[in-house]
Copies of this chain bind each other. A is one copy, B any other.
């Protein structure tokens, strides 16, 4: 901390419940105060999870600030020569990595993909390079194009891979922050991980960000915390029920509200949780859904099955929307209800928060061992940890949702078509 406080560039502190004092330079404060970043105050980190964990109302704003803080810390600790500009870039990229998020975080993602063929990352780069934020960055001597790429871990050229990996890998500052922060604000209790041990011992190996083998216990704890958070928060049954409903409301409303017909970054930035929620209540098709959510009349999970083995049919359900639709119709038919009343949910859907965090290989960055004479040797992480090996193959869960009154019928129809369900986690609220 010391060097910061005395620096002439020091602007001040922001207090964060996780890290205590986050110090900011004047230049960072200027970027923080742009429309694009301030808007993140009105986009919740975990849309839907608050219906299970009432205190889960934290936003992308404090998460982005936290990720930037960890990026600065990690950059400062890496025993490699990093020029001040590289540290600044990393902090900025982490601060801006979520700037393209749509309202309700992941829930507008499928519609966006369908209508625009874009992801929030595409929009993030667009905003960083084309909005007033680009000017603000230039005023601080920072190249928006470079940050636009680094913010999504896709910087190319002369830069070393570790720059991208700090922002986007299985042990990046984004995940470190959200595992801690989601646990803190939900109270779920799985994310009390000593990420500082990871940060203090990480290194750069042949250009890659690398984890020190002495931190394997922390790494295992971190990866398990991520997995349990996935099961108990992000993919919680009631949490997903709310998410599926809002996602459908957004999809149904699009033809009428044309939320995604924006032309400029400014028009896109005008969309936030507040404005879109209000508009969804004005649209005939989405209104009843939103009213159900507001009154916590959620759809119900009638069937759940966990798969540990590979199966071609199943794989297609997990990845192919047409197959999923087809199966929804079969179940509806057998249950003698409208197909609109059946939803199949799998963890790989883009509307599932952090689904990509589980999708990627659990460890895409190397682990190294430091020998007694100071050499750093790459080691295979599964050689060191069978636990990490097991966590790779996790999370093939399929669920079938329906409305309260069709619960029984859909349960039976699903069993006939999909086989005996696996036992599963309780709906806590």
Contact = CB atoms under 8 A, between A and B. Distances in A.
B274 A423 contact: no
A116 interface: no
A55 interface: yes
Interface string A64-84: 010000000100110100000
Contacts of A39: 294
A90 B298 CA distance: 29
Contact of A386 (B58, B194, B214, B308): B308
A313 interface: no
Contacts of A194: 20, 189-190
A41 B35 contact: no
Contacts of A283: none
Interface string A3-22: 10110000011111110110
A178 to B, nearest CB: 13
A57 B46 CA distance: 13
Contact of A1 (B77, B197, B390): B77
Interface stretch (A151-159, A217-225, A318-326, A350-358): A217-225
Interface in A376-393: 377, 379, 384, 386-387, 389-391, 393
**Which among A1, A79, A384 has the highest number of chain B CB atoms within 10 Å?**
A1
B295 A33 contact: yes
A228 B220 contact: yes
Contacts of A428: 12-15
Interface of A: 1-3, 5-6, 12-18, 20-21, 33-35, 38-39, 41, 44, 50, 53-55, 57-59, 61-62, 65, 73, 76-77, 79, 184-190, 192-194, 196-197, 200, 212-214, 216-217, 220-221, 224-225, 228, 231-232, 273-275, 277-279, 281, 294-296, 308, 369, 371, 377, 379, 384, 386-387, 389-391, 393-394, 423-426, 428-429
